[in-house]
Amino acid sequence: MTWRIPRTLCLAALCACAGGGKDAGVDLTKPVTGAEASNAAIAYNKALQEKKSENFIEATRLFEYVRTNFPYSQYSAMAELGVADMSFDREDWGAAATQFQDFVKSHPSHPKADYAAYRAGMAYFQDRPSDFFLLPPSYEKDQGPVRQALEALNRFVNGYPKSEYIPKAKALISDCRELLAAHERYVAEFYVKNEQWKGAAQRYMTLADTYGDLRDGTMHGESLWNAANAWQKANDPGDERADPARTGAANAGHRDAAIAPGTAAAQARAHSSGRLIVVRSCQCCGLRPPPGSGPSPEPPANAPWGEHGRPTEGAGRPRQRALPAR
């Protein structure tokens, strides 16, 4: 739940106190009297005035009255949308999201249906975990509201491609994906710290497949490389604490070719998808194919270093000369 302490406390005090303030003592069940009681338009316009004055409870009461007492009026649907807006303004994100979605289901062809669909996504997004300084970082918490926001916003974009809210929705979609990628990376690193290599590899593969386009595409190669390292350790229990120099900056060339055939990243991709990719072991970093992958094919003549995971004659590192006989 997003932390908005001052406003929340003010609203709570507003509802609780018996005197003072425009909304004090307002009863939602109190019958509407006067001209508003017999005319939907007058009652609806009065609700709009109360909303503009931020008398949210009185506005909600009038919207509810119009919705229930004039169900066949053109103002009934607008009043239903007004109730959802009031929940949003009171920062009751869960209720607002549900009410906006109910409006879209009940009135799919309404001129304001795109507005309601967009606001449903916004309500879920506002309900995301906070970064309040006394609490753990938001990426360590449950991302359920963010996932719901992403789903709602994607439905909106697909259902109303010509809506005026499309640019804002796409910006929110990008924010949601960044938050979910940060959480996925946190979980992967947690598995790495606890030496749960298969779990880490699968999380890194999810990062590559689902969020690989983030950071101008660099997340894809980086995640595949991390997945390859995790798969290597998962398949070689005796080498789980291998020297970092074998898979560190000294092998940056492999990192740049993380998705090329015959690399460790392709090896990780084969594990994740269930498809068999046969690669040779790399002499510079020690990465090798999983057990049972079968014999590796012989490289073609004059193959460059790294194409098949090892140097070939006449390419790459110089061949070591045999020592002369004593």
Distance CA 84, CA 100 (A): 6
114's enclosing H/E stretch is helix 113-126
pLDDT at 132: 79
Using the CB atoms, write b or e for 37-66: b if 16+ within 10 Å: eebbebbbebbeebbeeebbbbbbbbbbbb
Per-residue pLDDT tens over the stretch 69-122: 888 888 999 999 999 999 999 999 999 999 999 999 999 999 999 999 999 999
Per-residue pLDDT tens over the stretch 242-298: 444 444 433 444 444 344 445 555 555 555 554 333 333 444 444 444 444 344 444
pLDDT mean over 304-326: 44
79's enclosing H/E stretch is helix 74-89
Quickly state the pLDDT bin for 32 (edges 50, 70, 90): low
**Domain residue extents for the chain:** 195-296
Given a cut of 90, whether residue 173 has pLDDT beyond it is yes
Given a cut of 90, whether residue 33 has pLDDT beyond it is no
Per-residue pLDDT tens over the stretch 154-165: 999 999 999 999
- The one-letter amino acid code at 145 reads P
pLDDT mean over 298-319: 43
pLDDT at 302: 46
Given a cut of 80, whether residue 129 has pLDDT beyond it is yes
Question: Measured in Å, how far apart are the chain's first and last C-alpha atoms?
Answer: 78
Q: Which of 118-132, 179-193, 254-268 has the lowest mean pLDDT?
A: 254-268
Distance CA 250, CA 227 (A): 18
pLDDT mean over 21-38: 47
Q: Residue 92, class by beta-carbon neighbours within 10 Å (0-12 exposed, 13-18 middle, 19+ buried)?
A: middle
pTM as predicted: 0.62
Torsion sign across C-alpha atoms 198, 200, 205, 210: positive
Q: What is the DSSP string of 157-221?
A: HHH-TT-TTHHHHHHHHHHHHHHHHHHHHHHHHHHHHTT-HHHHHHHHHHHHHHHTTTGGGHHHH
